[in-house]
Amino acid sequence: MNATTALRNGWQKVFGAGARSARPAPGDTSHGTILYLEDISVSFDGFKALNALTLYIDAGELRCIIGPNGAGKTTMMDVITGKTRPDAGSAWFGQTTDLLTLSEPQIAEAGIGRKFQKPTVFEQHTVMENLELAVAGTKTIWTTLGSPLDRRQHERIEEVLETIRLQDRRSMRAGMLSHGQKQWLEIGMLLAQEPRLLLVDEPVAGMTPQEVERTAELLLSLAGKHSVMVVEHDMDFVRSIARRVTVLHEGHVLAEGTIDEVQNDPRVVEVYLGE
Ligand SMILES: Nc1ncnc2c1ncn2[C@@H]1O[C@H](COP(=O)(O)OP(=O)(O)OP(=O)(O)O)[C@@H](O)[C@H]1O
């Protein structure tokens, strides 16, 4: 058990499960770590997709996760977002939020946003309307569109439009955007909900080189304000954004370090060459 885990467990012992009102907000990162995955195992029909996976993400960090097909990357994100329950292990969001006790909507509400590989924006609606739906925290079009947003929500939308650089596309129907712009809009829709941790699955698949470059800038601009976990196969892209890279293999962490460190690690070379 590391020091932060001990501290967190100590908190629980002192305050107990009933002391929720005295606890810090979900995703409390006063100890510098936003995500704790410890000894997580997930089996599908006896096959271990995750095998005692232990991984920590710092608050504000941009972490890249790589690994060959079937390494367990998607399963790990499914555990974090509550889609898949592990057979063993613990998953904490900050010091005080036990992810394994929360439903998928509760985890999203607590501040974990997930961007799937394919963009799922509302194509018939404008960029602005898509963001309005997101900032209102619902994807129920009919109850949201036309309802007045408050000043804070308007400001949030403007901030997001600037971050994703789609200010001049605000009135365009989302269906008319390029593939890359749709991906940025969907990232913007997540940002509108002010997540603490953002999980992003293969963001640059199918993008033009310019869009890839722009996506790198976008993700780098999010780090610090948000913690970002990016799963990506494109190694050039990983090199362009990564400070720290985790290599998954057979459901656990094979190596972790800078991109140069992991690319020169003989175990990593063997796993990739052996594919
Ligand atoms: N629902 C499921 N039922 C059975 N096996 C599954 C299920 N989901 C995943 N697996 C298996 O678990 C292993 C890990 O899969 P996972 O999708 O997490 O890997 P990945 O690293 O995301 O791979 P890729 O890079 O190909 O997306 C694979 O062998 C996969 O076939």
- To test ligand 1's pocket by mutation, which of 45, 73, 76 has the most ligand atoms within 8 angstroms of CB? 73
CATH of the domain at 201: 3.40.50.300
For ligand 1, atom 11, name the residue with the nearest CA: 49
Q: What is the predicted pLDDT for the residue at 136?
A: 76
> Ligand 1 centre and the CA of 56: distance in Å?
21
Q: What is the predicted pLDDT for the residue at 247?
A: 96
Residue 160 lies in a domain: no
Number of domains comprising the chain: 1
Residue 218 lies in a domain: yes
Residue 116 lies in a domain: yes
Residue 94 lies in a domain: no
For ligand 1, atom 5, name the residue with the nearest CA: 44
Residue 240 lies in a domain: yes
Q: Which domain holds residue 192?
A: 61-82+103-121+177-273
For ligand 1, atom 28, name the residue with the nearest CA: 70
In tens digits, what is the pLDDT along the chain, a chain of 275 residues? 454 444 444 434 333 333 333 445 666 666 789 999 999 999 999 899 999 999 999 999 999 999 999 999 999 999 999 999 999 999 999 988 999 999 999 999 999 999 888 878 999 999 999 999 888 765 455 555 656 778 888 899 999 999 999 999 999 999 999 999 999 999 999 999 999 999 999 999 999 999 999 999 999 999 999 999 999 989 899 999 988 999 999 999 999 999 999 999 999 999 887 65
Ligand 1 atom at minimum distance from 68 CA: 25
Is residue 49 within 6 Å of ligand 1 at its C-beta?
yes
Q: What letters, b where the CB count within 10 A reaches 16 and e where it falls short, cover 226-250?
A: bbbbbbbeeeebbebbbebbbbbbe
Ligand 1 atom at minimum distance from 76 CA: 18
Is residue 72 within 6 Å of ligand 1 at its C-beta?
yes
Residue 185 lies in a domain: yes
Q: What letters, b where the CB count within 10 A reaches 16 and e where it falls short, cover 164-201?
A: bebeebeeebbeebeebbbbbbbbbbbbbbebbbbbbb
Is residue 74 within 6 Å of ligand 1 at its C-beta?
yes
Residue 47 lies in a domain: no
